[in-house]
Amino acid sequence: MSIEVGQQAPDFTLFNTKLEKISLKELRTKSNVVMLFFPLAFTNVCKTELCSTRDEISIYENLNATVLGISVDSPFCLAKFREENELPFDLLSDFNKDVAKQYDSLCDDERLGFKGLTKRSAFVIDKQGQIKYAEILENADKLPDFDQIKQTLENCN
């Protein structure tokens, strides 16, 4: 499935680090949603990405956005990563890789010696469930365009 700006975001439900079910449909009724797919917890670029988001969480909150981090790591691994980095947003486990497939964010090749990691990707979904921003990076060493994500959120409000 090819993900494009303007289409309806595929709905999903995943477990967070407290083993609570988090549904995109429920979240987007309350706020816009920023979804950040990242390859693996505890890797340098992923830590940089999520910690920079943590450091700007008030900007996202002021733009009426809920931030989610999603990876194929287990909820238990993500819980430790979230705790160590004091991340104030949910990390969701896509252990079965279903959501990464839906969002065209699953790697077909081998990265870091592992197959089946997520591509670093960013999506903004508005309250109506429409994808307003989509960025799927082929190079896992690159970060999403956070300025463009914030600009998109400004236009959602």
Task: Give the residue numbers marked as catalytic.
Answer: 46
Q: What does each C-alpha distance from 44 to 25, 38, 40, 109 come to in angstroms?
A: 31, 11, 9, 20
Helices of type H across 3-140: 24-28, 44-55, 57-62, 75-84, 98-102
Q: Which residues of 110-123 are buried (b: 16+ CB within 10 A; e: fewer)?
A: eeeeeeebbbbbbb
Q: What is the dihedral of CA 134, 45, 14, 93, to 10 degrees?
A: 150
Tokens of 4: 């494009």
Residue 120 · residue 83 · CB < 8 Å: no
